């Protein structure tokens, strides 16, 4: 099945899985490298991996395209740096749980920037999904961490910026090819972070290059699938699938860093899955009615 013909919700689900795997790789890299170095290398690798994809589609780098992606790239760079810092400072699942404030903001931002109608079922699904996140967060027993406060704050601000980037993605996805989006979504953040990474932080160790290449591959794959998905469905319908990242984050945190998966995470994940089904069922009923 080609990505362009797959169901948008399936594409978004797979994209989130790839991006959560990237988060695990990023946390590994952040243990031995500066956060700005990890951010820069993630997007350099992503750019190099995404460039060959341009041969699969029509290249259209108009001035309007570059200007639009330049703005989105700046938002992505700031959101990524803050989120990567949060991943380094607190457990993966907890960082993802805090970031779930973003879907609550997407319908409002989409209404303001894109004029999308805020359907009651999408708003309700986001609220139910966020309730599942609260089950996890409110039951969390803090582990003493020297940078916990800064990490939580960084993830929160990153979530606000991420919500904006999702809406900007929807705006660009209706105008640009997914391949172009994937390249520019990596190239501009790499450009913006280059001065800080090259002149204010140590260069990456050669032995870490395969890990950075993996970050780029996972990030490019996730971004490409999201671009295909958001080109064919409204932002407020797909964004509820962001909640599935909680389960992926718990899995990768347990597997890579021995971060224990608590019963509350399982319960919260079940509630999140219910929210996803609310949106999926709504879309199915609408398609049947049409």
Q: Residue 105: CB partners within 8 Å, gap ≥ 6?
A: 159, 160, 163, 164
- In this model, does residue 283 exceed pLDDT 90? no
Within a 13 Å sphere around the CA of 27, how many CA atoms are in the beta-carbon half? 26
Tens of pLDDT, residue by residue over 61-103, are: 778 878 888 999 999 999 999 999 999 988 888 888 888 777 7
pTM metric for this prediction:
0.80
In the block, residue with structure tokens 């990242």: 245
What is the rounded CA–CA span in Å between residue 113 and residue 108?
A: 9
Tens of pLDDT, residue by residue over 189-248, are: 999 999 999 888 888 888 889 999 999 889 888 878 887 887 777 766 776 777 788 888
pLDDT at 26: 95
pLDDT at 289: 46
């Amino acid at each position: 099945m080609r990505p362009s013909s797959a169901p948008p919700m399936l594409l978004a689900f797979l994209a989130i899985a790839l991006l959560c795997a990237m988060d695990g790789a990023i946390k590994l890299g952040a243990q031995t490298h500066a956060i700005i170095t990890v951010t820069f290398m993630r997007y350099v690798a992503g750019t190099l991996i995404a460039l060959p994809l341009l041969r699969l589609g029509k290249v259209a780098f108009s001035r309007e395209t570059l200007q639009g992606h330049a703005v989105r790239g700046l938002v992505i760079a700031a959101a990524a740096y803050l989120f990567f810092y949060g991943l380094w400072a607190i457990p993966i699942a907890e960082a993802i749980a805090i970031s779930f404030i973003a879907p609550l903001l997407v319908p409002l931002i989409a209404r303001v920037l894109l004029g999308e109608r805020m359907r009651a079922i999408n708003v309700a699904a986001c609220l139910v999904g966020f309730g599942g996140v609260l089950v996890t967060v409110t039951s969390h027993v803090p582990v003493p961490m020297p940078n916990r406060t800064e990490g939580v704050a960084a993830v929160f601000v990153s979530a606000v910026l991420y919500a904006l980037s999702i809406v900007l993605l929807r705006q660009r996805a209706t105008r640009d090819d997914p391949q172009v989006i994937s390249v520019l979504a990596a190239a501009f953040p790499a450009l913006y972070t280059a001065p800080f990474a090259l002149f204010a932080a140590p260069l990456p160790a050669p032995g870490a290059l395969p890990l950075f290449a993996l970050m780029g591959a996972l990030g490019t794959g996730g971004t490409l699938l999201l671009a295909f998905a958001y080109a064919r469905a409204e932002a407020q319908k797909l964004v509820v699938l962001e909640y599935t990242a909680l389960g992926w984050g718990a899995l990768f945190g347990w597997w890579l860093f021995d971060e224990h998966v608590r019963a509350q995470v399982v319960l919260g994940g079940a509630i999140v899955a219910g929210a996803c089904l609310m949106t999926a069922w709504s879309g199915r009923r609408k398609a049947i009615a049409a």
